[in-house]
Amino acid sequence: MPKTILLLGHTGKLGRALCNSLSSDHLVIGKNSRDFDAANFDQVTELIDECHPDIIINTVALMGIDQCELEPEKAQRINTLLPHYLAKRAFERNVTLVHFSTDAVFNDEKQDCYTENDSPSPLHLYGVTKYGGECLVRSSCERHYIFRVPLLFGKAEKQNQFVEKMLALLDAGQKEIRVSNDLVSSPTYSCDVAEQVKQFLLNEAPFGTYHLANEGKASLHELIAELVVLLKIDATVEKASFLDFPSAGIKNTYTPLKSVKANALRPWREAVQDYCCSLRRRD
Ligand SMILES: NC(=O)c1ccc[n+]([C@@H]2O[C@H](COP(=O)([O-])OP(=O)(O)OC[C@H]3O[C@@H](n4cnc5c(N)ncnc54)[C@H](OP(=O)(O)O)[C@@H]3O)[C@@H](O)[C@H]2O)c1
């Protein structure tokens, strides 16, 4: 049955993909920073009262390890207190809450894929505040899905995330870029995540916390090198270390995700091929 979905952050990388996937079956009402300030919870309540959603999807976050170290109070408000607030409002109204979290809730000790059975132990404020959000959603609203996703690629309006920044440099004609070969994740296509979320909602899968990631793992260097080959860009991608790029916060170096509860998404290289096709169609 079609549902009314309030999608917070519909213009973000994941929000765009969710909007595309869910709009065919549901009424999706998208809101972004032009419509409300996620740090102002009165405005959040107004949105909920206005839309009467059956489902609230929250993709809003203060992203980035450095950004969170620089703005700790904002990080706590957006990444921890906002999901808590949404969970309480969802509980009161018997609404389902879909919330997104991150591989950055884990440390690097496992040196293998993290599953839902592993205990989070974040290394930095971004991870701590996102984990706080997860815990408060779990304790405040039974009708929740928390989807942890790793490094995402996919169409995005802004070029402020890693993959888009690299592609923008190459687009601008840079002939050589240096990319860390010692940061390993499981690169994941935003469209594959959105399709999986659609299936969860359609099948009314059991509520809980799930990992959604394309299968396999890759360093940032492997990912960008693959994109350069598939997009036939005339440039060299040199291997570097994350230590060559100083940052305010401690970086995660090894956090690929895998699920022991949900179907695996296809291998990341297959997903990258589709992503490149969609980028070529744009040209
Ligand atoms: N991208 C990744 O690699 C990655 C990896 C792991 C986990 N995640 C998680 O996945 C989720 C979605 O990430 P994403 O990459 O889609 O994020 P994104 O591209 O940065 O999009 C964020 C969305 O939230 C909106 N937003 C941001 N701040 C807001 C504010 N103060 N008030 C109202 N709206 C605001 C933005 O609106 P505007 O367009 O108006 O700015 C945008 O629509 C987050 O929970 C993130 O922690 C992402």
Please report, rounded to a whole number, the percentage of residues in the chain having pLDDT higher than 90.
Answer: 93
Residue with tokens 């594959």: 192
Mean pLDDT of the region 3-32: 97
Mutate to test the pocket of ligand 1, among 78, 152, 257 (most ligand atoms within 8 A of CB): 152
Mean pLDDT of the region 264-273: 97
pLDDT value for 246: 86
**Token representation of residue 128:** 């701590």
If you measure from the C-alpha of residue 60 to the centroid of ligand 1, how many angstroms do you get, rounded to a whole number? 4
Q: Report if pTM > 0.95.
A: yes
Q: What is the pLDDT of residues 137-189, one digit of tens each?
A: 999 999 999 999 999 999 988 888 999 999 999 999 999 999 999 999 999 99
Quickly state the pLDDT bin for 1 (edges 50, 70, 90): confident
Beta strands in 103-172 (DSSP E): 144-149, 152-153
| Ligand 1, CB within 6 Å, residue ranges | 9-15, 32-34, 36-39, 59-61, 63, 100, 102, 130, 149-152, 156, 161
Q: What is the pLDDT of residues 106-125, one digit of tens each?
A: 999 999 999 999 999 999 99
Instruction: Kindly tell me the number of DSSP H helices and DSSP E strands found in the chain.
Output: 10, 14
Q: What is the pLDDT of residues 53-86, one digit of tens each?
A: 999 999 999 999 999 999 999 999 999 999 999 9
Mean pLDDT computed over every residue of the chain: 96
pLDDT value for 283: 54
- ∠139-255-38 over CA atoms, to 5°? 45
Q: What is the pLDDT of residues 241-261, one digit of tens each?
A: 999 998 888 999 999 999 999
pLDDT value for 248: 83
Q: Residue 256's closest CA among 150, 123, 143, 164?
A: 150
Q: In sequence order, what DSSP letters do the residues of 63-87 get, joined into one string?
A: --HHHHHH-HHHHHIIIIIHHHHHH
Q: By alpha-carbon position, which residue is closest to atom 29 of ligand 1?
A: 33
Quickly state the pLDDT bin for 282 (edges 50, 70, 90): low
pLDDT value for 160: 86
If you measure from the C-alpha of residue 107 to the centroid of ligand 1, how many angstroms do you get, rounded to a whole number? 22
Mutate to test the pocket of ligand 1, among 33, 214, 224 (most ligand atoms within 8 A of CB): 33
pLDDT value for 81: 98
If you measure from the C-alpha of residue 90 to the centroid of ligand 1, how many angstroms do you get, rounded to a whole number? 20
Mean pLDDT of the region 199-203: 97
Pick from 31-40, 230-239, 246-255: least confident: 246-255
What architecture is the 4-152+189-214+256-265 domain classified under in CATH? 3-Layer(aba) Sandwich (3.40)
Residue with tokens 């060559």: 244
Domain parsing of the chain, residue ranges: 4-152+189-214+256-265
If you measure from the C-alpha of residue 50 to the centroid of ligand 1, how many angstroms do you get, rounded to a whole number? 22
